[in-house]
């Protein structure tokens, strides 16, 4: 993600994280388009935990958790400046970011359902929502991971 010889400032990290988020939004939006093509309108959420209905925000939970965990590990191995060891630092971040993504996306879906109710959307909106969530998760996780693992010179 970032290979810099000079000090990694928060501004540099934020710029790289934003680029990573944008790229992930496009890639995951494309993947979701191919997975969902041919589907009719689908609900963003439904008012039941045990439903068999495919929902957009329900799909986004597993997408966000898997992306958060994978991208945390990837960020560790792609940073080329002195960094903290994978175990225990980044391994703990993998778990923490997965739990954070789960809680944030699930809570957002619950609040959405409570406030807005069941809203059906077409393929384009579903792909836009899923791609946006993937991009946000990628950017946030990338920024949080690099800020945590990079060794700051004394």
Please answer whether residues 97 and 145 qualify as being in contact, where contact means their C-beta atoms are separated by less than 8 angstroms. Answer: yes
- pLDDT recorded at residue 118: 93
pTM: 0.91
Tokens of 119: 């809203």
Distances in whole angstroms, Cα of residue 32 to Cα of each of 8, 9, 25, 79, 85: 34, 34, 10, 28, 34
Give residue 3's pLDDT: 44
* 58 burial via Cβ count (<10 Å: 0-12, 13-18, 19+): buried
> pLDDT higher for 133 or 51?
133
Confidence bin at 14 (pLDDT 50/70/90) = very high
Query: Per this entry, what is the length of the chain?
Result: 154
CB 150 within 8 A of CB 7: no
Confidence band, pLDDT 50/70/90 cuts, at residue 2: very low
How confident is the model at residue 8, as a pLDDT? 80
Q: Can you give the pLDDT at residue 154?
A: 58
Q: What percent of the chain has pLDDT over 70?
A: 94
pLDDT averaged over the chain?
A: 92
Domain ranges of the chain: 10-149
Q: Give tens-digit pLDDT for 98-147.
A: 999 999 999 999 999 999 999 999 999 999 999 999 999 999 999 999 99
Once rounded to an integer, what is the mean pLDDT over residues 87-92? Answer: 97
For 71, how many CA atoms within 13 A lie in the half-sphere containing its CB?
28
* 3-state SS track over 45-96: CCCCCCCCCCCHHHHHHHHHHHHHHHHHHHHHHHCCCCECCHHHHHHHHHHH
- Quick one: average pLDDT of 79-91? 95
Contacts of 154 (CB under 8 A, 6+ apart): none
């Amino acid at each position: 993600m970032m290979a810099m010889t000079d000090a990694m400032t928060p501004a540099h990290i934020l710029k790289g994280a934003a680029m990573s988020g944008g790229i992930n939004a496009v890639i995951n939006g494309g993947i979701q388009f191919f997975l969902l093509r041919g589907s009719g309108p689908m609900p963003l959420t439904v008012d039941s935990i045990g439903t068999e209905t495919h929902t957009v925000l329900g799909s986004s939970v597993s997408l966000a958790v898997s992306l958060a965990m994978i991208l945390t590990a990837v960020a560790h191995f792609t940073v080329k400046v002195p960094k903290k060891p994978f175990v225990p630092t980044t391994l703990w971040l993998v778990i923490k970011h997965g739990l954070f993504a789960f809680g944030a996306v699930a809570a957002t879906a619950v609040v959405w359902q409570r406030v807005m109710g069941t809203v059906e959307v077409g393929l384009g909106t579903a792909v836009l929502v899923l791609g946006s969530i993937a991009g946000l998760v990628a950017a946030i996780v990338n920024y949080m991971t690099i800020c945590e693992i990079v060794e700051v010179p004394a």
